[in-house]
Chains A and B, each alone.
Chain A
Amino acid sequence: MGKIFTFLTRTRGIGRLHWTDWASYAYLLFGIVIMFGPVLWLVLSSFKSEAELQRFPPTFLPYAQEMISIEGYDKPLPLFEITNGEFAGKQAGQVRRIGLVSQLVRPEAPKDLIKMPLADRKPVERIDFAFENYGDLFKRFDFLRYLWNSVFITTMATLIMLLVNSMAAFALSKYHFRGRSTVLAMIVGTLMVPQTVVLVPLFLITRELGMLNSLWGVIIPGAATPTGVFLLRQYMLTIPDEILDAARMDKASEWKIFWRIVLPLSAPAIAVLAILAIMWRWNDFLWPLIVLSQNDKFTLQLALNSFQGQLTTQWSNLLAMTVLVLVPIAIVFAFLQKYIATGIASTGGK
């Protein structure tokens, strides 16, 4: 026992674990529970049937009661185990329940009806994942439409943003022209007016351009971001001008230099910006909420929010939908977390 303890508390550095190390690991363990726990709970709950979700206190895993077919009864009966009395330890199907009395029938004696108090039997259960929660989303809800809206907005907005911002970054990093610093200062200026403070005029402009209740109304207004221009410009400044001059000697047009030389060389910065843009767009809420008011134009986020407000919505479908909205981001994070972390740290969020 002592040896195991010594082994477990061995450190890579010098000496034993200090009490501060114990405190650190305790804190981190607590962190895992509080950060991962809720998400795990959501995913497990999403596989429970609506009846299972009503159960209090809830169980960890999703269960469903076993059913048994007994001769003489058309439908399978819910299976119970008898815990008390003459037939203790035997299993039986419940025919009906009247008040506090349960009428059961054993498979080996289908004609013999046993009556006993509810407390004397307990349900036989097995683990059962209610995949129909997910199936329902496609059958009863217009899930694919919302998914398409979200995917379309995310893809188009990201592509347009990358093209427009990288062109601007190219101009601001590779040319010396009169007014460059003015343009730069103007772009810094827009950092100070986030979308949240110009909602009313932005609504008017989007309306005048005929983009209300259109997916383009969500895509276009956010396409030029000061963050994107800055991130790419800083990176492009590190590309030596000699490469560009060499290409000019070979009579390459400026556009060709931009997309054949500078863009490929900026790939790491573009990747970071692309990931950020995808996340911003996928999770966007307030602006789509204002622009898109027709149900068939909703993004996944809007659909999720409007479902949770409806009384007819069942938790089982809502939870399944939440998981499906979460999954793409989880996948992106699992594969690209290094880029995301550096990207977010270098841009300071939005």
Chain B
Amino acid sequence: MTAVLNAIMNIIEIPMRFAQRRLGLRRIAWVFLLPNLILFGIFAFLPVILNVIYALTGTDQVMLNDRTFVGFDNFITLATCTNHLDPNTCTQDLFWRAIYNSLWFVTLQVGFMVGLSLVTAIVLNGKIRARGFFRSVFFFPVLLSPVVVALIWKWILQREGLLNAGMDAFGLTPYNWLLDRNWAFIWSIFLSVWAHMGFYTLILLAGLQAIPRDVYDAALMDAATPFRTFRRITLPLLMPTMIVVLLLALIKGVQTFDEVYAFTGGGPGSATTFIIQYIYETGFAGTPRLFGLAAAASILLAIVLIGLTLIQLSVTRNKADG
């Protein structure tokens, strides 16, 4: 392994040495940057420009010169509704359903996620034994693949599953959870909180541990009650971390797709179809492939994400400076 690696590196050295002789020490940096810049250019910057072109053109052709310019028609198609509060009256009813689903989902999921992560982080920050063990208990689902997470819970929630067996034992009637629109939605929230809360717990725990001990000692001297200490010391000092966690959770929540798609397939009906699934189904899964509509929806999503990321970056920067 090492021998192969050495050989590869030695071969790369020959052109690199030549480049260094030709370009000099200053410009050699560009040679090191080149592979990365090419990849970024092709797979990150070029797509952004092409996305706009797709959004402004129509037909189901993927090649750009086969597509016809339609201006803002795709955006208008997406936005046309007789009544915006009722998705049934929209030309793209699934798009509006996905938006409303996503809004509900993100609000509830982020709320529960941040709340539970905060509670867990505070408990883990207390004087408990085996902290490392308990920390990994809450963290390990973060590493599981979305499909695995979905199947684990599907197996528990199925008709003859563990949950129904438990309910049966208590004399309750077993229920087909994932065939009910509301329950499928609630379980999707549960599942994604279960899978991701360990990540936010970890960040909040680091934030809690960064609060200096002596502030608490001072509070103890003043005989402050634990509740008061929490409200007046812990919460304000944890606020910057909380905001970062909140924004990260929002950015990820808006992009929820994998685990819910594998869990419910977006159903029953369209009860758990979110915005990424709309893009996927419009552009790739359905026929005809409406690339223009998918691209237009992506741009709307991108605007939301860019806004959230800019706020997050500025908060992180302020936190680093302060």
- Interface residue ranges, A against B (CB under 8 Å): 11-13, 20-21, 24-25, 27-28, 31-32, 34-36, 38-39, 41-42, 45, 53-58, 163-165, 167-168, 170-172, 174-175, 177, 180, 183, 186-188, 190-194, 196-205, 207, 220-224, 229, 253-256, 258-259, 279, 282-283, 285-286, 289-290, 301, 304-305, 308-309, 315, 318-319, 322, 325-326, 329-330, 332-333, 337, 340-341, 344-345, 348-349
Contacts and interface: CB of A to CB of B under 8 A. Distances in A.
A349 B257 CA distance: 16
Interface stretch (B86-94, B98-106, B139-147, B179-187): B139-147
Interface residues of B, number: 100
A54 B160 CA distance: 7
B46 to A, nearest CB: 7
B32 A224 contact: no
Interface stretch (B47-55, B75-83, B211-219): B47-55
Given A24-B123, A197-B302, A333-B143, A57 B168 contact: yes
Contacts of A330: 140
B26 interface: yes
Given A38-B156, A42-B155, A325 B39 contact: no
Given A191-B309, A301-B147, A333-B143, A167 B33 contact: yes
Nearest to B14: A255
B239 interface: no
A286 B258 contact: yes
B276 A192 contact: no
B283 interface: yes
Contacts of B172: none
Nearest to A341: B202
A28 B147 contact: no
Contacts of A200: 50-51, 54, 279, 283, 291, 294-295, 298
Nearest to B53: A201
B54 A187 contact: no
Interface string B143-178: 111111001111110001110110011000000000
A171 B160 contact: no
B127 interface: yes
A285 B258 contact: yes
B262 to A, nearest CB: 5
B160 A164 contact: no
- If over half of A's interface residues share one DSSP class (helix, strand or loop), that class is named, otherwise mixed; here it is helix
Interface in B1-53: 9, 12-13, 16-17, 20, 25-30, 32-33, 35-37, 39-40, 42-51, 53
Contact of A220 (B13, B43, B154, B160): B43
Nearest to B162: A41
Contacts of B255: 194, 196
A21 B126 contact: yes
Given A222-B43, A255-B9, 16 more contacts: A28-B128, A38-B153, A167-B33, A171-B32, A183-B37, A193-B44, A194-B255, A197-B298, A201-B295, A224-B36, A255-B17, A258-B32, A290-B280, A341-B136, A341-B202, A349-B252
Contacts of A163: 35
A199 B39 contact: no
Contacts of B257: 196, 285-286
Contacts of B32: 167-168, 170-171, 175, 254, 258
Contacts of A180: 29
Contact of A34 (B129, B140, B164, B194): B194
Contacts of A333: 136, 140, 143
A322 B148 CA distance: 6
A212 to B, nearest CB: 10
Closest 10 CB pairs of A and B: A201-B50, A168-B36, A224-B39, A198-B47, A175-B29, A171-B32, A283-B145, A57-B165, A255-B16, A201-B47
Nearest to A260: B9
A167 B169 CA distance: 61
A199 B310 contact: no
B247 to A, nearest CB: 10
B276 A286 contact: yes
Nearest to B160: A56
B243 interface: no
Contacts of B202: 341, 344-345
9 contacts: A27-B119, A45-B155, A54-B160, A168-B36, A197-B299, A201-B49, A205-B42, A207-B62, A285-B258
Contacts of A285: 145-147, 257-258, 262
Contacts of B13: 253, 255-256
